[in-house]
Amino acid sequence: MPATTATRPSDELSRDQRLELFYFARLTRDIEERLALLYRQNKVVGGLYRSLGQEGESVASAYALAENDAVAALIRNLGSVIVQGIRPRAIFAQYMAKGTSPTHGRDLNLHFSHIPNGDDGPIVIGPISTLGDLVPVMAGVGLGARMRRRRLVAMTYIGDGGTSTGAFHEGMNFAAVQKLPLVVIAEDNKYAYSTPVSQQMAIPRIDQRAEAYGIPHEMVDGNDMLAVYDASKRAVDLARQGAGPSLIGVDTMRMRGHAEHDDMRYVSKPLLDAWEARDPITRYRAHLIETEVATETDLVEIEAMSRQYAEDEAGLAEADPGPDPATVADGVVAGGHFQPSVEIVRSPFRVKRGASRHTQPTVVHP
């Protein structure tokens, strides 16, 4: 376990940064709520995988990264890529399989990447559907960064189910042996599809997985955004100092089914009610008011801004054309014309921690 410091990293967050955290969490939920509407209108082509109840941990962990660090999200970590600047329109376009999406309709939801040349903006690596693989791949991003003499940190996520894979173990172990700058956020969100954590592992806490690798680990309340930020920031700092990988276990709850089609009848009502009362955004909102960081008016304003932005971005993506079927065979190997890109945007607060340099956004949030 890392030594507990007297002061918490979040103590150093400015008022704007605290509000920005709220904005990102709110925006994540608003994007997903727009997606749920689009899903019900049959405009989402595949499934919709909500992070309801988990937005706080995705946002607060990625908030500990510097702007040009690397993050690899799973399908339920929308908040992490929104924090790193992925334009919401791209997310909507992905779900609706539009030709303007980061994969031009070739892959779905968060399955996309953004790999700028050199040290010029955030690196985002998408997942594949077989879980666990992002751990060795992000270990490799850390390895490549070290070889290229870049001091970046690679962060990725894994669910409780994903930690049961061989790929997770191989990647964690390799990162530990090589002391790579990797931070793994291991989410105990209580169910892997329908399988409870008790049938996934015989240890009481998910972060104990890390014992086998000899790396720092801790368990945090995943619905306490500042606690997640604190643990993540400590791990990111360790990684950047060359001290190797860490694993942070987050205790949270998946408040929707595996995807929207899943009615989640295998989850008890009392369990859901208990976690509903611990909603990360509601809690953080109350904290901001209690600590007098913001007034009710401030927060209502941010909420309105977020909701409107999500709606506008959804509308833009909805009007986008689908992919051209004539492009279907292009770009399987090098030499084709397929060269997709993702728009990186800055939040209206522009204060994300660890911003070592500024990329020039083509678009700024409203």
Query: Under a CB-based contact definition with an 8 Å cutoff, are residues 50 and 12 in contact?
Result: no
258 is an active site residue:
yes
Residue count, binding to other proteins (CB under 8 A): 46
Q: Which residues contact 168 (CB under 8 A, 6 or more apart)?
A: 131, 132, 135, 158, 162, 209
Q: What is the dihedral of CA 171, 339, 30, 39, to 10 degrees?
A: -100
Query: Under a CB-based contact definition with an 8 Å cutoff, are residues 255 and 275 in contact?
Result: yes
Q: Is 334 in the site for other proteins (CB under 8 A)?
A: yes
**274-280 own/partner pairs: CB under 8 Å, 24+ apart:** 275/53, 275/223, 278/223, 278/253, 279/53, 279/223, 280/25, 280/53, 280/54, 280/55, 280/56, 280/57, 280/222, 280/223, 280/224, 280/225, 280/252
Query: Under a CB-based contact definition with an 8 Å cutoff, are residues 143 and 239 in contact?
Result: no
Contact flags string 87-116 toward other proteins, x per CB under 8 A = ---------------xx--xx---xxx-x-
CB of 93 to other proteins, least distance (A): 14
- Give CA–CA dist 248/130, Å, rounded: 21
- Give CA–CA dist 245/176, Å, rounded: 6
Judged by CB under 8 A, which stretch of 36-44, 124-132, 189-197, 268-276 contacts other proteins?
A: 124-132
Q: Is 212 in the site for other proteins (CB under 8 A)?
A: no
Q: What Å distances lie between residue 142 and 70, 183, 245, CA to CA?
A: 9, 10, 10
Query: Under a CB-based contact definition with an 8 Å cutoff, are residues 121 and 359 in contact?
Result: yes
Tell which positions 169-208 bind other proteins, by CB under 8 A. 170-171, 173-174, 177-178
Tell which positions 256-285 bind other proteins, by CB under 8 A. none
What three-state secondary structure class fits 263? coil
**Residue with token string 């941010």:** 302
Q: Is 133 in the site for other proteins (CB under 8 A)?
A: yes
Contact pick of 154, 255, 310, 344 for other proteins (by CB under 8 A): 154
Contact pick of 56, 88, 121, 136 for other proteins (by CB under 8 A): 136
Contact pick of 139, 185, 250, 299 for other proteins (by CB under 8 A): 139
- Per-residue DSSP letter, 34: H
- Cα of 275 vs its chain's centroid, Å: 20
Of the residues 266, 350, 357, 358, only one is catalytic, namely 266
Q: Is 45 in the site for other proteins (CB under 8 A)?
A: no
- Give CA–CA dist 86/111, Å, rounded: 13
Q: Is 213 in the site for other proteins (CB under 8 A)?
A: no
Q: Is 338 in the site for other proteins (CB under 8 A)?
A: yes
- In the complex with other proteins, which residue's Cβ is closer, 59 or 75? 75
Q: Is 215 in the site for other proteins (CB under 8 A)?
A: no
Q: Is 317 in the site for other proteins (CB under 8 A)?
A: no
Judged by CB under 8 A, which stretch of 168-176, 226-234, 271-279, 295-303 contacts other proteins?
A: 168-176
What sign for the dihedral angle of Cα 43, 46, 51, 57? negative
- Cα of 24 vs its chain's centroid, Å: 11
Judged by CB under 8 A, which stretch of 34-42, 284-292, 326-334, 347-355 contacts other proteins?
A: 326-334
266 is an active site residue:
yes
Q: Is 135 in the site for other proteins (CB under 8 A)?
A: yes
- In the complex with other proteins, which residue's Cβ is closer, 146 or 287? 146
- Per-residue DSSP letter, 361: -
Q: Is 147 in the site for other proteins (CB under 8 A)?
A: yes
Q: Is 145 in the site for other proteins (CB under 8 A)?
A: yes
Q: Is 148 in the site for other proteins (CB under 8 A)?
A: yes
Query: Under a CB-based contact definition with an 8 Å cutoff, are residues 356 and 150 in contact?
Result: no
Query: Both tokens of residue 294?
Result: 């913001």
Of the residues 87, 89, 209, 254, only one is catalytic, namely 254
- In the complex with other proteins, which residue's Cβ is closer, 167 or 272? 167
Q: Is 84 in the site for other proteins (CB under 8 A)?
A: no
- In the complex with other proteins, which residue's Cβ is closer, 111 or 240? 111
Chain residues binding other proteins by CB under 8 A are 102-103, 106-107, 111-113, 115, 123, 125-126, 128-130, 133, 135-148, 150, 154, 166-167, 170-171, 173-174, 177-178, 331-334, 338-340
The residues assigned a catalytic role are 254, 258, 266
